Amino acid sequence: MISPSPPSGARRRALLFWAFFAAGAVVLALAPLALNNYWLRVLTTVFMYATVTQGLNVIVGLTGYHAFGNAVFFGFGAYASGVAMTLGAPFPVALVAAVAFSALVAGIIGWPILRLRGHYFAIATVALNLAAIQLVIQVGGVTGGAEGLPLPLSDLPPGPLYRAIYLVMLAGMVVSTLLVAFILTRPFGYALRAIRDGERAAGVMGIDTTATKVAAWAISAGITGFAGGVWAFWITFIEPASAFDPAIGVKAYMMLILGGMGTVIGPVLGAFVLEFLSTLVWGGFLQAHQIVFGVLIVVICLVAPNGMLVAGRSLIQRWRSRHGAA
């Protein structure tokens, strides 16, 4: 059976979108040539959160399972990378270990936990984050326990090192975005959206809902673990409270809501807007930046409850309908 070709208008818009995306990635890759260290650090943080948010998008936006403690895989990625490097593994190998270990943990615990639904699943993921902190502390030894784990320092000078980390984080954002776009066009992506829209109906259609959800969470965890692995190499010292910080997951969730759940570019848009907004508010309102920032977030959520991407599309459609009617 031959699948119908998309309308030419939709195809042109898709080509235009990917042309802008590729041009933006090239500009960002060349940006370290002109940026100072402050903005290099800000953008590296944006890329890190965009990657974590794309990971969250797979399980929340595409599958409809609200994983409030997904940042647990950020911590597992950080520790897998850190332990591998202290044992003598080079950074690329440690990064592979971070992705593989996070995905493996999600695959193992996903079988029982993903049988929960709604707020029961959300609460279970939050509990996972707390349990992971205690696990790392109790294990001690290779993890450093409560005292933390110092990572081996790179031989590179600070300037080239920070530019290299910037490019690796950028690659993580680009690859995770392409992965989400790829999933959306595959039968696996259709199965995820069928589960999101009606899990029982998806099961009746012959979809193995448990295996599909576990695979989605493993992909989500692998993406998040990648960001955690690079972060550990970036800061060179990790300890349980910062590696498994629930605020990382909360911030990524806010970025996903602001950008648009289940979309390709929404998580990236949300990460850029929220992180830059946070930086600007912090610079302008040092004593009350959290209050100002919170009010701005509430206003954005009221104006665009389904995300800025959906709100932007709605505005364009209204303008086109008015322009066509005039």
In order along its 326 residues, the chain shows pLDDT tens digits of 444 555 567 778 788 888 888 999 999 999 998 888 888 999 999 999 999 999 999 999 999 888 888 889 999 999 999 999 999 999 999 999 999 999 999 999 988 888 887 778 888 888 888 888 888 888 777 888 888 899 888 888 888 899 999 999 999 999 999 999 999 999 999 999 999 988 888 888 888 999 999 999 999 999 999 999 999 999 989 999 899 988 898 889 888 988 888 899 999 999 998 888 888 777 666 666 677 767 777 777 777 767 777 777 777 777 877 766 54
CB atoms within 10 A of CB 272: 19
Q: How far apart are CA 41 and CA 147, in angstroms?
A: 26
Q: Measured over all CA atoms, what is the biggest interatomic distance in the chain, rounded to whole angstroms?
A: 72
Q: What pTM did the predictor assign?
A: 0.88
Residue 149 gets which letter from DSSP? Answer: E
Which residues touch 107 (CB under 8 Å, ≥6 apart)?
A: 214, 217, 218
* Cβ–Cβ under 8 Å, residues 65 and 114: yes
